[in-house]
Structure 1
Amino acid sequence: MTVRYGWLSPDGQTRADTRHTALGATTPAGPLQTRSGILPGTDDGQYRIGGLGMTGTTGTMTAVVQPGRAVVQGTTTQGTFPVALDENLTITFADGDAQYGRIDLVVLRVYDDESDGSGRNEAAVETVQGTPAAVPTAPPTPALALPLFQVAVPAGTSAGTGGLPWTTAITDLRTTLVSVGGILPVYNNATVAGSYRGQYQDNDTSGSLQRWSGTAWVPYPKAIGGIAPTGALTTGGYTGQYRDTSAGQLQRWNGTAWQPAVPGPAFAQSLDAGYTTSTTYTSTLTDTAVTALTLNFTAPPSGSVIIALGARAYTTSSETTTAHMSPQVTLGTTVIWSADDERAASGSGAVGKSVSTQLRLNSLTPGATYTITAMHRSTSSTVPAWFDTIYLRTDPIA
């Protein structure tokens, strides 16, 4: 017998049966139930799962299922069935329908006469034939069975027509399980809910270790207080977690987004000259390709920054008209600072002059992202106020 079972069969459980099925693997699914699944591992340790794999035989309708060990959960009263396949097993698929394709299942199935009245007490690897259809679907998994693979059988397929197209026919349905307290190597079961707070799984897709919080899998690439390495984390597990980026920047998770851990200077500039004759502040200049010069910055823990701004300013053919450049600061759509002459870098005269100013802005929300917009005006609606080499800069204050 190559498909062994370990639940004290009425017709005798051998010592070999007991040795093969001493799995010790029960990932809980409730107080009296466990997940059904396959024990992970391969001979060379390169892959997550090798047990009960399947390889099709080219040009035929047959496939070989490789050895492996698994657990199949019955109803609460039935309990859990450990199963082991200890040698290669060949299975055969029926020829394809003349008109439509179908989808078959390969399952590891347990027969328990005491519960199902089947007259059988054994385990078997079986095919469950699907129904041919224009859009075929897989048949339901039988009771007390663990699905292993789906196999698409095209219409008209047979050994005489070249057999099944094995490279595209097989869909792997196997899932993993480990003993309670073990870290589950995810395989087709990344979204399965955890069973208890503090359960761990290794998610191969995201490359992170995850902990079940009671409602969700939370990334845990490092212990609390550790810095997550580059590429290991897309969403923070807790407020105050840190990660490194590919650009070498240290970031802090604020509960909803990653922010620079140590906000540094921010700078923006425009070297394209433009003018305005507006006597009220405007961000739009004429004769320039720059729609508006803006600068985003993250407020530091102190909530205070130095804002610096400047330009090369002049007023066409006028020594009395003044060109003013002032910052407007917004948080989303809320204006924190309006442009004002008292906060302006100002210049006048037909000869261009470099003008600048520095201002301190306080009472910002640490970690929030603010926007500075360069605003401009002329004191005369008939005299263009020109601005060139415009810049904005912020520096955090400790």
Structure 2
Amino acid sequence: MNARSAWLSRDGQTREDTRVAPLGAFTPTSPTATRSGVLPGSADGVYRVSGLALSGTSGSMTGRVAPGRAVIQSTDARGAYPVALTDPQTLTFADGDAQYGRADLVVLRIHDDVHDGSGRTEAAVEIVRGTPAASPTPPAAPDTSLPLYVVAVGAGVGAGTGGIPWDTARLDLRPTTVAVGGILPTRTDDTDPGGYPGHYRDIGETLQRWSSTAWVPYPKGVGGIVPAGVLTTGGYVGQYRDTTTLGQLQRWNGSAWLPAVPGPVFASSLDAGYTISTTYTATLLDTAVSALTLAFTAPPSGSVVVGLGARISTSGSETVQAHMSPQVTLGSTVVWAADDERAASGSGAVSKSQSTQLRLNSLTAGSVYTVTAMHRSSSASVSSWFDTLWLRVDPLF
């Protein structure tokens, strides 16, 4: 037989058997069990794994499994079987059913008479034939075997009727395994957990580390910036990532990705409105905008510049003043009340653009505040008008 397994035969195990078997390939899945899989690598380093690869001859029902090495884990008590296929193995698939297609499973299988009573003591590459069906599914893998490929065998196909379309009929199932401490190269559909915290794997061109509960992209370990498209949820507070569409650096705050360097935030309204209230109010009359507000996140410095402005006029009066002042709140708590000293003020029947900027300090970094444009007239008998209103907050660092 081409397939050789060390520590299987009761007698006759050759030194060559022992030498070619991969005794050092044990990616742990428990204190006494290992991950079953094919040893990765290729002759030129181009492919993730080339061992036990299946290819086929066009127009035929014949496949060929390339040489390779693997480990097949049985129960903890039986242990793991190291296997080496030293020469190519030819497989011939049965012709397709007349009505339905089927899905055959190619496996590397251990037969151990001491445990399974099979009368065989060997490793073998085998085809486990599927059941023809309108929607065929592959059969279950036999005990102590390693699934390698699923091969779709269409209805009515045979050596004389086109054979198996090998380029599209194969589904690669080969898992990989490496020595303890090695980086595990694997496929993007691999959902197996890590063997231990600090276990690394290469998946989809991304290096990941097992945290004890999840695979976390490797930048966590070095504090690097995660490339665009890799992370949906951050691995830890303070992790940074790039974004594909925005080209923006973001920071994970524990529940959401926020801009790493918050920029100015801005709100405006072009709909004019007026008030005759002599106390500050957010509501203007004769406008569809009930209140102009703006939310912002306090930067690490706890300081921001608050700016606001509008085109201001007072109907029929050159002496009455219209005031527009910011009010800043944290939830329901007023941090900064509207005040004439912080207002953009103007008067006169002809509207004039007025604005002001003020520094606000002692904010709680990371908290979300709201600034609201407040308005009042110095006379209850004169309408104070505000048009082209705007609010802006700039973080200070």
Residue 113 (str. 1) matches residue 113 (str. 2): yes
> Is contact 1:33–1:76 with CA below 8 Å preserved after alignment?
yes
CA distance in 2, matches of 1:232, 1:201: 18
Partner residue, 1:179? 179
Partner residue, 1:253? 252
CA distance in 2, matches of 1:113, 1:159: 36
CA distance in 2, matches of 1:165, 1:376: 76
Partner residue, 1:32? 32
Partner residue, 1:198? 198
- The CA RMSD over aligned residues, in Å, is 3.2
CA distance in 2, matches of 1:362, 1:173: 60
Of the three residues 205, 208, 212, the one matched with 2:206 is 208
> Is contact 1:328–1:335 with CA below 8 Å preserved after alignment?
no
Aligned residue runs from structure 1 range 65-104, under 5 A: 65-104=65-104
Q: Which runs of 5+ in 2 are unaligned?
A: none
Q: CA deviation at 1:92?
A: 1.8
Aligned residue runs from structure 1 range 239-250, under 5 A: 239-243=237-241, 250=249
Q: CA deviation at 1:67?
A: 1.6
Residue 125 (str. 1) matches residue 122 (str. 2): no
CA distance in 2, matches of 1:336, 1:40: 63
Partner residue, 1:303? 302
Residue 61 (str. 1) matches residue 61 (str. 2): yes
Aligned residue runs from structure 1 range 201-240, under 5 A: 201-204=201-204, 207-221=205-219, 223-224=221-222, 226-228=223-225, 230-231=227-228, 233-234=230-231, 235-240=233-238
Q: CA deviation at 1:79?
A: 0.8
SS at match of 1:168: helix
Q: CA deviation at 1:73?
A: 0.4
CA distance in 2, matches of 1:131, 1:32: 36
Identity %: 60
Q: CA deviation at 1:239?
A: 2.3
SS at match of 1:297: strand
SS at match of 2:193: coil
Q: CA deviation at 1:194?
A: 1.6
CA distance in 1, matches of 2:10, 2:134: 45
> Is contact 2:103–2:139 with CA below 8 Å preserved after alignment?
yes
Partner residue, 2:18? 18
Q: CA deviation at 1:300?
A: 1.1
SS at match of 2:192: coil
Structure 1 residues 101 and 334: CA distance shift in structure 2, 3 A:
farther
Structure 1 residues 187 and 155: CA distance shift in structure 2, 3 A:
same
Residue 281 (str. 1) matches residue 282 (str. 2): yes
**One-letter identity of the residue aligned with 2:366:** G
**One-letter identity of the residue aligned with 1:213:** S
**One-letter identity of the residue aligned with 2:82:** P
Structure 1 residues 59 and 336: CA distance shift in structure 2, 3 A:
farther
Structure 1 residues 28 and 230: CA distance shift in structure 2, 3 A:
closer
CA distance in 1, matches of 2:154, 2:61: 12
Q: What is the TM-score with the length of structure 2 in the denominator?
A: 0.85
Structure 1 residues 283 and 334: CA distance shift in structure 2, 3 A:
farther
Q: CA deviation at 1:381?
A: 9.3
Deviation sequence 1:25-83 (CA, Å, 0-9, x none): 00011111101011111222223211111123221222221221110001112111011
Structure 1 residues 316 and 24: CA distance shift in structure 2, 3 A:
same
Structure 1 stretch displaced more, 144-153 or 298-307: 298-307
> Is contact 2:22–2:83 with CA below 8 Å preserved after alignment?
no
Structure 1 residues 232 and 161: CA distance shift in structure 2, 3 A:
same
CA distance in 2, matches of 1:95, 1:377: 89
Q: CA deviation at 1:338?
A: 8.3
Q: Which runs of 5+ in 1 are unaligned?
A: none
Structure 1 stretch displaced more, 32-41 or 185-194: 185-194
CA distance in 2, matches of 1:167, 1:374: 66
Q: CA deviation at 1:313?
A: 2.3
SS at match of 1:167: helix
Paired residues, number: 389
Q: CA deviation at 1:339?
A: 7.5
Q: CA deviation at 1:136?
A: 2.1
SS at match of 1:104: strand
Structure 1 stretch displaced more, 379-388 or 179-188: 379-388
CA distance in 2, matches of 1:47, 1:249: 34
**One-letter identity of the residue aligned with 1:255:** G
Structure 1 residues 22 and 220: CA distance shift in structure 2, 3 A:
closer
Structure 1 residues 69 and 100: CA distance shift in structure 2, 3 A:
same
Partner residue, 1:359? 358
Deviation sequence 1:74-126 (CA, Å, 0-9, x none): 11121110111122222122222222222211111011111101111111111
CA distance in 2, matches of 1:57, 1:190: 29
Deviation sequence 1:233-257 (CA, Å, 0-9, x none): 5243332334456677554332233
Q: What is the TM-score with the length of structure 1 in the denominator?
A: 0.85
